[in-house]
Each structure stands twice: as structure tokens, then as C-alpha cells.
């Protein structure tokens, strides 16, 4: 059949690739090809693949296929991030085990990936919910524990009332649960943490070496939130120990007119004077009931209570009242602040609400904040500040720090917004924390040779319903164990790990799948890592990427890897939207990937995704034309099908004009693919297709070897975006499969040379002639040609020539005498 039939083609080549395995990364030591690691963010197995997956994986696939064609030994693996709440919720609803839903969906997605022709090395497939995988989460947890990087502490945590589990700070978005949208509450619980704060400075510093989108780096920087300032100690009247505050504006110390302690911090309770206690406790209880949203709302009226105490300003001995309020956070800095209402808006709002004094200490030239209600945080000259008077703000900051340090009243300090990573979850479908609690011995790590601690398999359906404690607590046979240390009765920790632990190192596991000696084979990892490109959604800009970077640094410190950053280059694809807004099942604003594939074929869907614009832009599926893609694919297929010359025919004997187009296309597409400009690269392939068609119909004819050269070039280039069509073209051209490993073509420099260029000749600034000249003409030759021109001579008349400026090969400028 000479007609383009995408469905038959895709079935045929999907089956052939299963046999040929052209996408398997080689571990053969004799394979000397340089290596590349193309990594895609692994999917969560919720249902089948959707349009968003189709775009993200098509983008990652172009890079992997390009490297393969360029002759690299390419690692392009796939796995599933298969622990997590949706599986558990589905199990509760269906009275089943989460594994059923999970593994059914994984199989569905795997089939779809194969059909969608993503060039994965299937032999490395992993699922994080397999005991063979989560065993190593537990192993890593124990190594973190030994290093003091995993620890348990009591304190306030974010609690999702719907999912009945705690959340990491990173999982609270605008005060709501990132997963289900419920308003997050605070609870006091003892939980496990990873000490990511110990790595804050390295997480910041190492960003310098990353080729990542600027906005992602910025989001990480802001999340880490490093600020520089000073710790200043204040005496509290009637209390032996002083209180330290953190300030970024030590220069405003003389303008501190009151002092505020976080209402929910232990400190407030401790220092509250007896006569204020009743009022304070009522206020504190109200604060505890507030949600994070309410608490941080900037337009909310400030609230607080006076604690009946006074602090003493260390530089001038001034007594200032101590208040408690919710706008000071217990978990930041020291949970207490010196308030400088003239120069800090929050403090000013508070001062105006409670009639506290406002004192300007930095003269910025703006109107008095006490009158306007607008604080003046900017640069200016110090006033009312004793020895600092007359200094600028930026000169005063180091000066006062010096003074404070001399007197032992303070010191320079750095603060981070970043908190330690809370990893405990009170849910079932996750990695059990490998710790045993013994009354006699305390926390006892599960010995390595007893890993994995497997999830019990007798819990299902309603057993998994959220209860506020982990469902594992109900599995008595599982919970009650002998203490590994003393042999006495003990209990397993019943929490499971945040699933972000699973995704923090899966890319390492891919390098040595099935390895039994540890989470990964260090030598294999050394060969493949760091990943050359990581492709995935910008929704992971903070959580996943920060955690994976943190894990990598810890593994580096443990001597297990020899690099400190896992992902050299990051590409964030845009979203696939419809009619201007995000796709959504609930509103029916949805395009189904399976239906699109059934209608247009895999290649046309992939091509449409890549042709619609640069990878980072959103694609509105209402504005693109998959049927146009089908037409193009049929046209390019037809070119290959029409070729009548034999494979190996010498293109040098063919039509030079077409050959030039072919080689220019090779040159440009190579550069465009490397610059991720796939849409433009596809446009160039379309142009070459038209040129080849023209040559067949009007010029050299189907037997010209230059036509074969063009068709073969197109087949190889198309293998990046429309691999099934490319493979079929290749076969029609009499070549041996697989086209996907045929080798990337090289442009012949001789065919890139342009024959002539147009040189503009000006006389006294006016264009008088145009000359067709060789692009590498010598300046002296060009000058002679220009002066010989009839038109130039006519323009000069009887004037002589004062000066000739030659910019070969494009411009000659003649200045008459």
C-alpha cells in the first residue's frame, strides 16, 4: 500500500522495537560511546496517561533520541512514583488493597508509553511501592539517622483534617493542603524530620552550577530564604535570662519602641505577668485555632495582648513594653522581635492599633510614618541614634553590629526560611519507618539485615480510613515485635515516609536496577550520573527538586556519589490547556489522549505537541491542528515512497540545488534541536519536504540520488518526533531498521557555501549599484569592481574619489572629493 496509514505503521514498528530493543542503554565495558542520561520526572500512576504526560514525555524523548542518533550510549529510563494517597483513597472506596489500583494503573500507563513510542529502556523499570525499592528508602533513612540527619521532635505541625495526616511545610500552599485543598490546621505532635536546614547554604551556593530556568532557581532561593542581619539580646525586667531577637535592621535599634513575642511560643507563656495571664491565655487559645491563611493575611487587623513586662533596649537602656501577637511566628528566628514601627509596616500597623509610639531613626525624605501609616524601610540617614547619627543605613548596619559584638550584646547572624523536612505521615501506602520503640531501650533502628520492613498485607478497605493515627497502628501482629536490642516486647513505629523520600533518589536506582548490595551500585552511578537533562513540570520547582538535591549532597558526604548536584540541565514544559484554561475532568474541559491517538495516530499527536511552540510554552489544544500534522506526515512519507534510486546511490551525482537545501536543513536542524527549538526544527523539515517534492515533480525526478539523500535525511530527523513514520520511510528506502539508530547526518560544508551575495555600492550615502559577488571576495577586488561600475561612474560625474570604505562582501561606500 502506497498510502500513509499511521495505524498499521505504528503497530508494526512497536512490535519490531520490542524485538530489536534499540533503546536499551549498554553496560558493556567495551562500548566506548560517550554516555548521556536523559531523565524524565516519573509519573504517578493515577489512571491512564493524559495530554500533559504526552507533552512532557515527547519533549524528553526528542533529546534522548537525538543523543542516540548522535552516537551516544543513552540512558532513558522509566518508573513509577507509586506510593501515595490517591491509591489509598481508591482502596477505601472500593474495599480493596491500594496495590490493586496502583499496579493496574501502572500496567495501563506502561502500555500507553509503549504505544506512544517513548524511547525507554524498559529493562530498568521500577516502582517505588515495591519492597525491593522501599527497602532502600529504609536503608537510607537509617544512614541519615546515624548521621543525625533523621530525628524525632515534638512541635507544631501542619495537619490536613481531610487526609488526616501531617504535611511538610512545602505541601502547604496558601494555607491549604497541596493534595486535597482542605484548610490546614496546626497540631502538636512528635514526628520524624530530615535535617535539610543543615544543607541550606550548600543548596544555595551550588545553584551557581545549574543550567536551570531562572524562575526555578529563584523559587528555590526564596524558599530557602536566606537573610542576613543580627541577633540582639534584650534583658527582660524580673527575668534572669535575656531574650535574643533576630533583626535584618540592627541599624534601627534606637527606634525600637516595643517588643513582641510569638503568642503561641512557650516563651510568651513563661514570661507573662500574673495580672495579664487570663487575657493572654484567652488570646493564645484563639491564635491556636487560627489557620495559617488567617494568620498571614496582610490585610487582617493586628491583634495582641500586653504581657505586663518590659524589655530593656541594650544600647540606650530604654524600657519598652513586651507584647504577644500572632504576627510574630514561633518557628522563625527566635520567635521574638524588637518592633520598629517607623520602618517596618507590620510593626507600624500594630503600633497604630494599640497606640504605641513611633520613632523615626532613619531619615528617608518621606513623610512621617506615624502620621501617614506608611512605614519607610528604605535607605536614608540615621537620626535619634546616638553614635550612629549621620551614617547612612548601609554604613550603620555593620557599625552597630561591631558595637554590639564588642559589648557582648549581639552578633551578626544569618537566618533561613527553610525548615527541617517533616517526613512522618499517618497513612498506610508508604514506606514504613524502620524504627522500633522499646520501653527499655528507647528508639532502636531496625537492623539492616531485617530490611525491608514490609507493609502488612492484611489491611484493606475501611482499615485504611483516616483515623488521625496511622492505619498501621491497628495491625497488631505487625506492630508488636521483639526489641532488636534487649529482646523485650516493643512496637514498630507506625508512621510511613513522605513519598517525596521515594522520588529523592530514584534516578540513582535506574543506574543499577535490581542491585542488591545497596540502593545503587556506586560505580554504575559514577558512569551515568549526573543526569544530562531532566524534563518535567514546573510544579516540582521547589519540593521534589530541593529534596533530590539535598539527598544527593548527603550521599556525597557519605562518600557514595562523587557529584553534589543530580541534574545538570532542567527543562520545564508548559501545560496542555483547552480553550484558554486548564483541562479538568469536573468541568468537562478535557481532551483525551487515547482518543486523539485513535483519531490521528501517535506520530501526528507527538508532532503536534512539538510543533505548537517552544517546549516551555503552554499549548492550547483548541488552537493546534493534529489533522495538519497528519497531512504533513503523509507528504513526507510519500517523498520516501516515491524514491526510485538504489540505496547507496552517490548523491554527488544528483541535483545540486536540492542537495544544498538538504545540507542547510541538516545544519540548521542540528542547531535548533540543540537549542530546544523543536518547533522551528520541524518547520525546516517541512521546507525540505517541499523542496524534495518539487525536485521529484518538476526537476530531477524520483530517480535522482539527491532526492534519496533528502528523503533519508528527513527519515532520520523525523525519528525524533514521528518515529513510526520515520521507521517506515527508512524501510521503504531500502534501508535496514532501525531508523532510530541510523546515525545523525552531517552537513557537508562545501554545500553550505552560498554561491554569491549582493553587495550594495553607495556614493555619498546613496545606493547607486548592486553587485553579485562571491561571499569571500577580497576587499581590494571588491573596491575595484565598485569603482568600475557604470552606475557608480555616472553618479560620480567629474568628481574625484576622496575615500572608499569597503565592508566585504556586503557594502562599499564611496566618498566623492
Least distance in angstroms from the C-beta of 483 to Zn ion: 3
Q: Residue 441's binding partner, choosing from Zn ion, ligand ANZ, none, with beta-carbon cut-off 5 to 8 A by kind?
A: Zn ion
- Closest CB to ligand ANZ among residues 79, 255: 255
Q: Residue 486's binding partner, choosing from Zn ion, ligand ANZ, none, with beta-carbon cut-off 5 to 8 A by kind?
A: Zn ion
- What does the block give as the cell for 760? 550594495
Count CA atoms closer than 13 A to 322's CA, side-chain side. Answer: 30
- What does the block give as the cell for 448? 539492616
Choose which of 143, 343, 677, 708 interacts with ligand ANZ (CB under 6 A).
Answer: 343
DSSP string, 550-568: HHHHHHHHTTS-S-S-SBS
Q: Residue 337's binding partner, choosing from ligand ANZ, Zn ion, none, with beta-carbon cut-off 5 to 8 A by kind?
A: ligand ANZ
- Closest CB to ligand ANZ among residues 329, 474: 329
- Closest CB to ligand ANZ among residues 129, 376: 376
Q: Which stretch binds ligand ANZ (CB under 6 A): 50-58, 244-252, 552-560, 768-776?
A: 244-252
C-alpha torsion sign, points 740, 743, 747, 751: negative
Q: Which stretch binds ligand ANZ (CB under 6 A): 339-347, 532-540, 548-556, 667-675?
A: 339-347
Least distance in angstroms from the C-beta of 14 to Zn ion: 56
Q: Which stretch binds ligand ANZ (CB under 6 A): 327-335, 569-577, 596-604, 749-757?
A: 327-335
- Residue 484, SS3 per DSSP: coil
* 337, containing H or E segment: strand 336-339
Q: Provide the terminal-to-terminal Cα distance of the chain, rounded to the nearest Å.
A: 74
- Closest CB to ligand ANZ among residues 152, 295: 295
Residue 68 Cα distances to 26, 63, 717, 719, angstroms: 12, 9, 12, 11
Least distance in angstroms from the C-beta of 232 to ligand ANZ: 9
Least distance in angstroms from the C-beta of 328 to ligand ANZ: 4
Q: Residue 20's binding partner, choosing from Zn ion, ligand ANZ, none, with beta-carbon cut-off 5 to 8 A by kind?
A: none
Residue among 359, 426, 416 at smallest CA distance from 386: 359
Opening angle at CA 198, ends 197 and 204, nearest 5: 75
List binders of ligand ANZ among 565-604 (CB under 6 A).
Answer: none
Q: Facing residues of 392 across strands?
A: 381
- What does the block give as the cell for 547? 529534596
Choose which of 340, 397, 682, 814 interacts with ligand ANZ (CB under 6 A).
Answer: 340
The torsion angles phi and psi of 104, rounded to 5 degrees, stand at -65, -45
Sheet containing 811-816, strands listed edge to edge, beginning at the edge strand earlier in sequence: 766-773, 757-763, 811-816, 801-807
Region of residue 355 (left: phi > 0; alpha: psi -120 to 50; beta: else): left
- What does the block give as the cell for 277? 495571664
Choose which of 233, 248, 303, 392 interacts with ligand ANZ (CB under 6 A).
Answer: 248
Opening angle at CA 406, ends 401 and 410, nearest 5: 50
Choose which of 338, 576, 609, 706 interacts with ligand ANZ (CB under 6 A).
Answer: 338
Strands 336-339 and 258-262, how do they pair?
A: antiparallel
Least distance in angstroms from the C-beta of 448 to Zn ion: 18
Q: Which stretch binds ligand ANZ (CB under 6 A): 67-75, 242-250, 551-559, 778-786?
A: 242-250
Would you give the binding string for Zn ion spanning residues 465-494, x where CB under 5 A is met? ------------------x-xx--------
The torsion angles phi and psi of 556, rounded to 5 degrees, stand at -65, -45
Least distance in angstroms from the C-beta of 496 to Zn ion: 23
Q: Residue 753's binding partner, choosing from Zn ion, ligand ANZ, none, with beta-carbon cut-off 5 to 8 A by kind?
A: none
Contact between 247 and ligand ANZ by CB under 6 A: the answer reads yes
- Closest CB to ligand ANZ among residues 337, 404: 337
Q: Residue 328's binding partner, choosing from ligand ANZ, Zn ion, none, with beta-carbon cut-off 5 to 8 A by kind?
A: ligand ANZ
- Closest CB to Zn ion among residues 490, 672: 490
- Closest CB to Zn ion among residues 92, 438: 438
- Closest CB to ligand ANZ among residues 118, 230: 230
Contact between 440 and Zn ion by CB under 5 A: the answer reads yes
How many residues belong to the site for ligand ANZ (CB under 6 A)? 19
Least distance in angstroms from the C-beta of 324 to ligand ANZ: 12
Residue 190 Cα distances to 151, 175, 257, 749, angstroms: 10, 21, 37, 68
Residue 603 Cα distances to 13, 21, 48, 82, 690, angstroms: 12, 19, 19, 28, 19
Choose which of 296, 441, 641, 815 interacts with Zn ion (CB under 5 A).
Answer: 441
Choose which of 261, 263, 330, 438 interacts with Zn ion (CB under 5 A).
Answer: 438
Choose which of 290, 292, 344, 642 interacts with ligand ANZ (CB under 6 A).
Answer: 344
The torsion angles phi and psi of 708, rounded to 5 degrees, stand at -60, -45
Least distance in angstroms from the C-beta of 277 to ligand ANZ: 23
- Closest CB to ligand ANZ among residues 8, 197: 197
- What does the block give as the cell for 226? 536566606
- Closest CB to Zn ion among residues 445, 816: 445
- Closest CB to ligand ANZ among residues 184, 261: 261
Specify the DSSP class assigned to residue 455: P
Least distance in angstroms from the C-beta of 464 to ligand ANZ: 38
Contact between 329 and ligand ANZ by CB under 6 A: the answer reads yes
- Closest CB to Zn ion among residues 387, 442: 442
Contact between 437 and Zn ion by CB under 5 A: the answer reads no
- Closest CB to ligand ANZ among residues 52, 250: 250
The pairs formed by 467-472 with CB atoms below 8 angstroms and a separation of 24 or more are 467/164, 468/164, 468/426, 469/426, 469/494, 470/425, 470/426, 470/427, 470/428, 470/494, 470/495, 470/496, 471/427, 471/428, 472/428, 472/432, 472/496
**Do the annotations mark residue 585 as ligand-binding?**
yes
- Closest CB to ligand ANZ among residues 234, 428: 234
Choose which of 26, 227, 581, 690 interacts with ligand ANZ (CB under 6 A).
Answer: 227
Q: Facing residues of 816 across strands?
A: 801
Residue 6 CA to residue 132 CA, distance in Å, equals 40
List binders of ligand ANZ among 623-642 (CB under 6 A).
Answer: none
Q: Facing residues of 466 across strands?
A: none
Positions of E strands within 493-624: 496-497, 533-536, 570-572, 576-578, 581-582, 619-620
User: Taking the CB of residue 308, how many other CB atoms lie within 10 A of it?
Assistant: 17
Q: Residue 230's binding partner, choosing from ligand ANZ, Zn ion, none, with beta-carbon cut-off 5 to 8 A by kind?
A: none
Burial of 432-457, coded b for 16+ CB within 10 Å and e otherwise, reads bbbbbbbeeeeebbbeeeebbbebbe
List binders of ligand ANZ among 379-438 (CB under 6 A).
Answer: 415
Choose which of 246, 421, 506, 547 interacts with ligand ANZ (CB under 6 A).
Answer: 246
Q: Which residues are annotated as a binding site for ATP?
A: 585
Positions touching Zn ion (CB under 5 A) are: 438, 440-441, 483, 485-486
Q: Which residues are annotated as a binding site?
A: 585
Positions touching ligand ANZ (CB under 6 A) are: 227, 229, 246-249, 252, 328-329, 332-333, 335, 337-338, 340, 343-344, 377, 415
Amino acid at each position: 500500500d502506497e498510502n500513509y496509514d499511521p495505524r498499521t505503521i505504528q503497530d508494526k514498528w512497536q512490535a519490531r522495537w520490542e524485538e530489536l530493543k534499540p533503546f536499551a542503554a549498554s553496560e558493556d565495558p567495551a562500548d566506548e560511546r560517550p554516555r548521556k542520561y536523559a531523565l524524565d520526572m516519573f509519573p504517578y500512576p493515577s489512571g491512564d496517561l493524559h495530554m500533559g504526560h504526552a507533552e512532557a514525555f515527547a519533549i524528553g524523548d526528542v533529546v534522548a533520541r537525538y543523543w542516540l542518533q548522535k552516537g551516544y550510549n543513552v540512558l532513558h529510563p522509566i518508573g513509577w512514583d507509586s506510593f501515595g494517597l490517591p491509591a489509598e483513597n481508591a482502596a477505601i472506596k472500593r474495599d480493596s488493597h491500594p496495590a490493586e489500583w496502583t499496579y493496574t494503573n501502572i500496567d495501563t500507563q506502561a502500555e500507553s508509553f509503549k504505544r506512544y513510542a517513548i524511547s525507554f529502556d524498559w529493562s530498568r523499570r521500577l516502582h517505588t511501592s515495591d519492597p525491593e525499592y522501599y527497602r532502600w528508602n529504609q536503608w537510607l533513612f537509617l544512614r541519615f539517622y546515624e548521621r543525625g540527619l533523621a530525628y524525632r521532635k515534638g512541635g507544631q505541625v501542619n495537619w490536613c483534617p481531610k487526609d488526616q495526616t501531617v504535611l511538610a511545610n512545602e505541601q502547604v500552599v496558601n494555607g491549604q493542603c497541596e493534595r486535597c485543598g482542605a484548610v490546614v490546621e496546626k497540631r502538636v505532635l512528635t514526628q520524624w524530620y530530615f535535617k535539610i536546614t543543615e544543607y541550606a547554604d550548600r543548596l544555595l551556593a551550588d545553584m551557581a552550577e545549574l543550567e536551570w530556568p531562572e524562575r526555578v532557581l529563584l523559587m528555590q532561593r526564596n524558599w530557602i530564604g536566606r537573610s542576613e542581619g543580627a541577633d540582639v539580646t534584650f534583658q527582660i525586667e524580673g527575668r534572669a535570662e535575656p531574650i535574643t531577637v533576630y533583626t535584618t535592621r540592627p541599624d534601627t535599634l534606637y527606634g525600637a519602641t516595643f517588643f513582641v513575642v510569638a503568642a503561641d511560643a512557650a516563651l510568651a507563656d513563661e514570661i507573662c505577668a500574673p495580672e495579664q495571664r487570663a487575657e493572654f491565655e484567652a488570646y493564645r487559645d484563639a491564635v491556636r485555632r487560627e489557620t495559617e491563611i488567617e494568620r498571614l493575611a496582610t490585610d487582617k487587623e493586628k491583634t495582641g495582648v500586653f504581657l505586663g513586662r518590659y524589655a530593656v533596649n541594650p544600647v540606650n537602656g530604654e524600657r519598652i513594653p513586651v507584647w504577644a501577637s500572632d504576627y510574630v511566628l514561633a518557628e522563625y528566628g527566635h520567635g521574638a522581635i524588637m518592633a520598629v514601627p517607623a520602618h517596618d509596616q507590620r510593626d507600624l500597623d500594630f503600633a497604630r492599633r494599640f497606640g504605641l509610639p513611633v520613632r523615626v531613626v532613619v531619615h528617608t525624605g518621606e513623610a512621617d510614618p506615624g502620621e501617614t501609616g506608611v512605614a519607610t524601610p528604605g535607605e536614608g540617614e540615621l537620626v535619634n541614634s546616638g553614635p550612629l547619627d549621620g551614617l547612612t543605613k548601609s554604613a550603620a548596619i555593620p557599625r552597630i553590629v561591631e558595637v554590639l559584638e564588642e559589648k557582648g550584646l549581639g552578633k551578626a547572624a544569618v537566618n533561613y526560611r527553610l525548615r527541617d523536612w517533616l517526613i512522618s505521615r499517618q497513612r498506610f501506602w508508604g514506606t514504613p519507618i524502620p524504627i522500633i520503640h522499646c520501653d527499655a531501650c528507647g528508639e532502636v533502628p531496625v537492623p539492616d539485615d531485617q530490611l525491608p520492613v514490609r507493609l502488612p498485607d492484611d489491611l484493606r478497605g475501611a482499615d485504611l480510613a483516616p483515623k488521625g493515627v496511622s492505619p498501621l497502628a491497628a495491625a497488631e501482629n505487625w506492630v508488636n515485635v521483639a526489641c532488636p536490642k534487649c529482646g523485650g516486647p516493643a512496637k514498630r513505629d507506625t508512621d510511613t515516609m513522605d513519598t517525596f523520600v521515594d522520588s529523592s533518589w530514584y534516578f540513582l536506582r535506574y543506574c543499577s536496577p535490581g542491585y542488591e548490595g545497596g540502593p545503587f551500585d556506586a560505580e554504575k552511578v559514577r558512569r551515568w550520573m549526573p543526569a544530562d537533562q531532566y524534563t518535567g513540570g514546573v510544579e516540582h520547582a521547589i519540593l521534589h527538586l530541593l529534596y533530590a538535591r539535598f539527598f544527593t549532597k548527603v550521599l556525597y558526604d557519605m562518600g557514595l556519589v562523587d557529584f553534589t548536584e543530580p541534574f545538570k540541565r532542567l527543562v520545564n514544559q508548559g501545560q496542555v490547556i483547552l480553550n484558554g484554561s486548564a483541562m479538568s475532568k469536573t468541568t468537562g474541559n478535557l481532551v483525551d489522549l487515547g482518543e486523539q491517538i485513535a483519531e490521528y495516530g501517535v506520530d501526528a499527536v507527538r508532532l503536534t505537541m512539538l510543533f505548537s511552540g517552544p517546549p516551555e510554552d503552554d499549548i492550547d489544544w483548541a488552537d493546534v491542528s493534529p489533522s495538519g500534522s497528519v497531512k504533513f506526515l503523509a507528504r513526507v512519507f510519500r517523498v520516501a515512497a516515491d524514491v526510485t534510486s538504489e540505496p547507496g546511490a552517490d548523491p554527488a551525482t544528483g541535483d545540486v540545488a536540492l542537495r544544498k537545501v538538504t545540507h542547510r536543513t541538516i545544519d540548521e536542524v542540528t542547531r535548533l534541536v540543540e537549542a530546544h527549538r523543536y518547533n522551528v526544527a520541524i518547520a525546516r523539515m517541512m521546507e525540505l519536504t517541499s523542496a524534495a517534492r518539487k525536485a521529484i515533480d518538476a526537476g530531477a525526478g524520483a530517480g535522482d540520488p539527491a532526492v534519496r539523500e533528502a528523503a533519508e535525511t528527513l527519515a532520520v530527523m523525523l525519528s525524533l518526533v514521528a518515529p513510526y513514520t520515520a521507521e517506515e520511510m527508512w524501510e521503504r528506502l531500502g534501508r535496514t531498521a532501525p531508523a532510530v539508530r541510523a546515525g545523525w547526518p552531517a552537513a557537508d560544508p562545501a554545500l553550505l557555501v552560498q554561491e554569491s551575495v549582493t553587495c550594495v555600492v553607495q556614493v555619498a550615502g546613496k545606493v547607486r549599484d548592486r553587485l553579485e559577488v562571491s561571499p569571500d571576495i577580497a576587499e581590494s577586488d571588491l573596491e575595484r569592481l565598485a569603482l568600475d561600475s557604470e552606475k557608480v561612474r555616472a553618479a560620480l560625474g567629474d568628481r574625484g574619489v576622496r575615500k572608499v570604505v569597503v565592508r566585504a562582501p556586503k557594502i562599499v561606500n564611496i566618498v566623492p572629493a
